[in-house]
Structure 1
Amino acid sequence: MRNTLLLLISGLLFGFSSKVSVADELLEHPVIKPIDGSRLLAERSSKENYGMLKVAYKGEDGEQPVAEGISWKLVYQVDSLGRDEIKANYMHAVQEIGGKSYGLRRATRANFRIPTLDGGVTWLSLTLKGNGLYELEIVDEALLEVAVKFDAASLGKELREHGRVSVYEILFATDSDRLLPGSGAALDVISEMLLSDLDLSVEVQGHTDAVGSPARNKQLSNDRAIAVKAALELFGVLGSRMRAVGHGSSMPLGDNATEEGRQRNRRVDFALLGQKASQH
Structure 2
Amino acid sequence: MMIKRFIFFALLINFTFQSQVFAQTTKSKKALKLYKSSQELKKSRDFEKSISALKKAVEIDPKFAEAHLDLGYNYFILRDLRNARVHLQKAAELKPDDQKFKYSYIRVAEFELREGNYKVAVDYAKKYLTYNSSARYQRDVDEANRIIEIGEFAIEGMKNPHDFKPVSLGDVVNKFPYQYFPVLTADNSSMVFIGRQNKIENLYISTNENGKWGEPKPIKEINTNAQEGTCTISGDGKTLIFTACGETKERKVYGLCDLFISHKSGDEWSTPKNMGGKINRRSWESQPALSADGRTLYFVSDRPGGIGGNDIWMTKLNEKNEWTEPENLGPTVNTKRDEIAPFIHANGKTLFFSSEGYLGYGGYDFYKTELKNEKEWETPENLGYPINDFRDQVGLFITADGTKAFYSNEDYESGVIISSVLTSFDFPEEIRPSKISDVVAGKVFDAVTKKPLNAQIKLTNVDSDHLISAVESDEKYGNYLIALTEGSKYALHVDRSGYLYKSLSFDYKKGSESKVIELDIYLDPIDEGSIVTLNNIFFESGSYALLPESKTELDKLVKFMSDNDELKIEIGGHTDNVGSDDKNKTLSLNRANSVKEYLTKAGISDERIATEGYGESKPVEENTSETNKAKNRRIEFKVVKN
TM over 0.5: no
| TM-score of the two chains, using structure 1 as the length reference | 0.44
